[in-house]
């Protein structure tokens, strides 16, 4: 029983020590220098007792007396709650803006890899740092002139790696002719900058040679487009397409029901926000890491 009592005294002393250190910082603005020096001396003595685990009784009495003296500098429960909410909100904004963002799949263009629906599509996480660090709260247009945030264009300031073939990426539609300029889309990268892409018999030909699909895409058949269907000039049968520098050619896995690069062309590098990497809801056969 004695050991338990001593252990509790030690924990109480340590807890009060941490609390009083913060209270002294707040009181310093109002107290005189002599008081501050004496308070710091007490703190130092208590710290030494905690470190050496000696005279805990005396240390506890000293720190509790000092804590009582500083009681009026303690934050109220409501203030503590509000500050916790504010810090949580700031942290969430930083994580969402720079590192990780949730995303809901709105359409069926990525079936069967991802289920899409405006009401209950798959919920995924997007890794935003994998392709480079952006400054999401600073918005520019293509000429680096400030624009309203709803037309945001946040260029990569610190590159990490470039998108690779077969990556599933989320990208901004801003600047892509034929698309709503205020949305984020999700597709799979199949063509890289400078390559020549052609769709033939369900496969992807890069620079005139067939590119084998990964095992997890063996069941995906990429279709050609009929020019008259939806101005699908970038995916016609027998036509190879040259991808410009700093541009990417992207397709939906549900090729029969996807409006993608076959119809509206290429995705600029700076439009790519991140790589989709994890399905977190619903818990189904699709739950887990994405490929």
In this structure, what CATH number is given to the domain that contains residue 128?
Answer: 2.10.109.10
The answer to whether the beta carbons of residues 234 and 245 sit under 8 Å apart is no
Of 41, 73, 105, the residue that ends a domain is 73
Q: Which two tokens stand for residue 14?
A: 């340590």
Element (H, E) at 25: helix 2-27
261: annotated active-site residue: no
Per-residue pLDDT tens for 240-251? 999 999 999 999
Of 62, 187, 213, 255, the active-site residue reads 187
- Whole-angstrom CA distances from 258 to 23, 104, 166, 223 are 60, 17, 16, 10
Please tell me whether residues 186 and 276 are part of one structural domain.
yes
pTM for the model: 0.68
pLDDT tens, position by position, for the chain (291 residues)?
A: 445 577 888 888 888 888 888 788 787 777 777 787 788 888 888 888 888 888 888 888 888 888 887 877 777 666 667 767 777 777 766 666 667 888 899 889 999 999 988 778 899 999 988 998 876 655 544 454 544 444 455 667 788 899 999 999 999 888 888 888 778 899 999 999 999 999 999 999 999 999 999 999 988 999 998 755 556 789 998 899 999 999 999 999 999 899 999 999 999 998 898 999 999 988 888 888 888
Asked if 38 and 169 sit in the same domain, the reply is no
Active site residue 187: yes
Catalytic residue among 109, 255, 258, 261: 109
How many angstroms separate the CA atoms of 141 and 86, rounded? 31
Contact 247, 193 (CB under 8 A): yes
**DSSP codes joined into one string, 201-262:** TBEEEETTEEEPPPGGGTT--BPPB-HHHH--TTSBTT--EEPPTTEEEEE-SSGGG--SHH
Query: Domain tally for the chain?
Result: 2
**Nearest CA to 14 among 72, 53, 40, 65?**
53
Quick one: pLDDT at residue 69?
78
> What residues are paired with 189 via a beta bridge?
250
The residue range of the domain holding 24 is 2-73
Q: Give counts: helices (H), strands (E), the chain.
A: 6, 14
What is the per-residue pLDDT for 20? 82
């Amino acid at each position: 029983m004695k050991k338990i009592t001593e252990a509790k005294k030690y924990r109480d002393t340590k807890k009060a020590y941490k609390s009083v250190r913060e209270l002294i910082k707040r009181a310093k603005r109002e107290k005189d220098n002599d008081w501050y020096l004496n308070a710091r001396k007490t703190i130092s003595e208590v710290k030494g007792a905690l470190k050496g685990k000696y005279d805990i009784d005396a240390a506890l009495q000293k720190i509790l007396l000092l804590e009582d003296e500083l009681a009026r500098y303690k934050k109220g429960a409501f203030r503590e709650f509000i500050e916790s909410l504010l810090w949580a909100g700031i942290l969430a904004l930083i994580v969402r803006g720079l590192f990780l963002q949730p995303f809901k799949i709105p359409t069926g263009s990525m079936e069967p890899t991802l289920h899409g629906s405006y009401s209950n599509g798959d919920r995924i996480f997007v890794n935003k740092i994998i392709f480079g660090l952006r400054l999401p709260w600073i918005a520019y247009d293509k000429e680096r002139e400030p624009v309203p945030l709803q037309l945001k264009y946040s260029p990569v300031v610190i590159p990490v790696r470039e998108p690779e073939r077969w990556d599933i990426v989320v990208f901004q539609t801003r600047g892509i002719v034929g698309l709503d300029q205020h949305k984020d889309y999700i597709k799979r990268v199949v063509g890289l900058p400078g390559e020549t892409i052609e769709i033939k018999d369900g496969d992807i030909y890069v620079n005139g040679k067939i590119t084998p699909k990964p095992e997890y895409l063996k069941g995906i058949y990429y279709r050609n487009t009929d020019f008259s269907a939806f101005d699908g000039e970038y995916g016609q049968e027998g036509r190879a397409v040259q991808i410009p520098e700093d541009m990417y050619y992207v397709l939906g896995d549900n090729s029969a029901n996807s409006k993608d690069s076959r119809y509206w062309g290429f995705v600029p590098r700076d439009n790519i926000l991140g790589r989709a990497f994890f399905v977190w809801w619903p818990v189904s056969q699709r739950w887990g890491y994405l490929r």
